[in-house]
Amino acid sequence: MSQQKPRQRGGRVLDKATPEQVMGLARNLPLTHSVLEKALADATPGQLGFLANLFEKENASRAESKRRRLLKQAGFPQSKTLEGYDRGMASFPADRGREQLESLEFVDRAEDLVFYGCISSSRCFVFSHV
């Protein structure tokens, strides 16, 4: 959103926002955009900041709810994360490393990822993009 530092007023944080920023944030929300555009035309900078903050929080809440719903629908037997994973025995291709895996950049590029390895005392673990 805005690059300016938010100011405090009566326990509330007010950010400066433009009508375009608020419309962008409201894009995913079920609002009548023509009505919103008219309201934004008359809004003060403080009102725009309030709406931008509200829409940011609503979009974040919806994204988190969607993430939880999709994980539940996937029916994974256990929840696994990369936290606490022992990478000491893992090997990675020379052109790809652990940081690339953890950054999830391959997701934005719509690339597939294949994990393969062995379950033994040597604990081989390699990943590659397909």
Summarize pLDDT for 12-62 with one digit per residue, the tens: 555 678 888 888 888 888 888 898 899 899 999 889 998 899 999 999 999
Summarize pLDDT for 105-126 with one digit per residue, the tens: 878 888 877 766 555 555 555 5
User: CB within 8 A of 62, min separation 6: which ones?
Assistant: 28
**Cα 60 from Cα 130, distance rounded (Å):** 31
Rounded to 5°, the CA angle 86-108-97 comes to: 30
Q: Which residue has the higher pLDDT, 66 or 11?
A: 66
Phi and psi at 9, nearest 5°, equal -155, 110
Summarize pLDDT for 53-90 with one digit per residue, the tens: 999 999 999 999 999 999 899 888 887 776 766 666 66
**Cα 109 from Cα 103, distance rounded (Å):** 12
pTM surpassing 0.75? no
Structure tokens at 22: 């608020």
